[in-house]
Amino acid sequence: MPPARPDAPDRLLVAGNWKMNGSRALAAALAQAALDAARAAPEVEVALFPPAVLLPLVSDAVGAPRGPVAVGGQQCHPEAKGAHTMGIAAAMLAEAGCRYVLDGHSEVRREYGYDDARVAAAAEAARAAGLRPIVCVGETRAERDAGQARAVLERQVDAVFGSRSAPLADADVAYEPVWAIGTGVTPTPEEAERAHGWIRARLDAAGAPRSRILYGGSVAPANIGGFLSRPGIDGVLVGGASLEAASFTALVVAARAAAAARRRP
Ligand code: 13P
């Protein structure tokens, strides 16, 4: 196994992005399962990203922002307030118990027109409200096939972390190849780690060596161990498999085993 990174984070992160799924009943059940899983695996950080209207319920259930499960929003608006119908300000998420906010998920980029500049502005807004953004990047299948994956990832990372007077500390990245989201098809752990290496180099250049890089895209109990066996992968961002208590719990258990394996000399 390659040597540990000096700036490796203390804990692996298992994050569940519920997207536009759930109900009050499901949210309560998943929050309880996450709480139980997190208590049994203190070496792993567990975070939930429910739809905004379910945030208060989930935050209360897990005792956010201080409890063992972190909560996050799925996107914040770049502006702090104003005439932006449907918008959710970062400060509103913070007040709802959030510690994190996803920023620039490929579905948000595609469905709501978030381009690199808007994703960067939203990251600034998140930081101003005391949230830790998780900036989502990833190439499409066409971009990958055209040999452009590295250039796309570097552009997306630089737009948020680069060309800044002050480094964007306290922000993370999720590498989510668009072609792997919801498809059951994934890169190999080695391929994912190579992409993480490209991203890591840009983060280092931007003065953000302590940012985590998560992998996302069809993560499941059967494949999480492979991804988390790679030292360049600091956690996972999970969609479908986070919507069932049993599979989400299995992911946290697997992350705990991966964390233990990393600590072994
Ligand atoms: P799936 O795990 O359903 O592929 O979704 C990944 C994702 O987009 C998480 O943000």
Per residue in 197-240, pLDDT (tens digit) is: 999 999 999 999 999 999 999 999 999 999 999 999 999 999 99
* Predicted pLDDT of residue 7: 73
Residue 7 lies in a domain: no
- The model carries a pTM of 0.97
pLDDT at residue 1 is higher than 60: no
Q: Determine how β-strand 132-137 pairs with β-strand 100-103.
A: parallel
Beta bridge pairs of residue 72: 100
How close is the Cα of 223 to the center of ligand 1, in Å? 13
Sequence-ordered list of residues with C-beta below 8 angstroms from that of 72, at least 6 positions apart, any chain: 15, 47, 48, 49, 93, 98, 99, 100, 101, 102, 131, 134
Whether the Cβ atoms of residue 45 and residue 64 lie closer than 8 Å to each other: no
pLDDT band at 4; cut points 50, 70, 90: low
Residue 4 lies in a domain: no
Residue 164 lies in a domain: yes
* Predicted pLDDT of residue 3: 52
Count structural domains, the chain.
Answer: 1
Residue 154 lies in a domain: yes
pLDDT band at 265; cut points 50, 70, 90: confident
pLDDT at residue 249 is higher than 90: yes
Tell me the per-residue pLDDT of 20-69, one tens digit each, with 9 for 90 and over: 999 999 999 999 999 999 999 999 999 999 999 999 999 999 999 999 99
Residue 131 lies in a domain: yes
Q: Is 42 in the pocket of ligand 1 (CB under 6 A)?
A: no
How close is the Cα of 240 to the center of ligand 1, in Å? 6
Atom in ligand 1 nearest the alpha carbon of residue 218: 4
Q: Is 217 in the pocket of ligand 1 (CB under 6 A)?
A: yes
Mutate to test the pocket of ligand 1, among 141, 178, 237, 248 (most ligand atoms within 8 A of CB): 237
Q: Is 216 in the pocket of ligand 1 (CB under 6 A)?
A: yes
How close is the Cα of 253 to the center of ligand 1, in Å? 19
How close is the Cα of 3 to the center of ligand 1, in Å? 29
pLDDT at residue 110 is higher than 80: yes
Query: According to DSSP H, which parts of the chain are helical?
Result: 24-40, 55-62, 90-95, 106-112, 116-128, 141-145, 149-161, 189-205, 224-228, 245-263
Q: Is 22 in the pocket of ligand 1 (CB under 6 A)?
A: no
Exposed (0-12), middle (13-18) or buried (19+): which is 187, by Cβ within 10 Å? buried
* CA-angle at 63, arms to 255 and 37, nearest 5°: 25
* Predicted pLDDT of residue 9: 78
Structural domain span for residue 225: 12-263
Please state, for a pLDDT cut of 70, what percent of the chain lies above it. Answer: 97
Q: Is 104 in the pocket of ligand 1 (CB under 6 A)?
A: no
Residue 224 lies in a domain: yes
Residue 114 lies in a domain: yes
Tell me the per-residue pLDDT of 136-179, one tens digit each, with 9 for 90 and over: 999 999 999 999 999 999 999 999 998 666 678 799 999 999 99
Q: Determine how β-strand 44-49 pairs with β-strand 69-73.
A: parallel
| Mean pLDDT calculated for residue range 234-261 | 98
What is the average pLDDT value for the chain, to the nearest integer? 95
pLDDT band at 264; cut points 50, 70, 90: confident
* Predicted pLDDT of residue 10: 83
Residue 1 lies in a domain: no
CATH number for position 118: 3.20.20.70
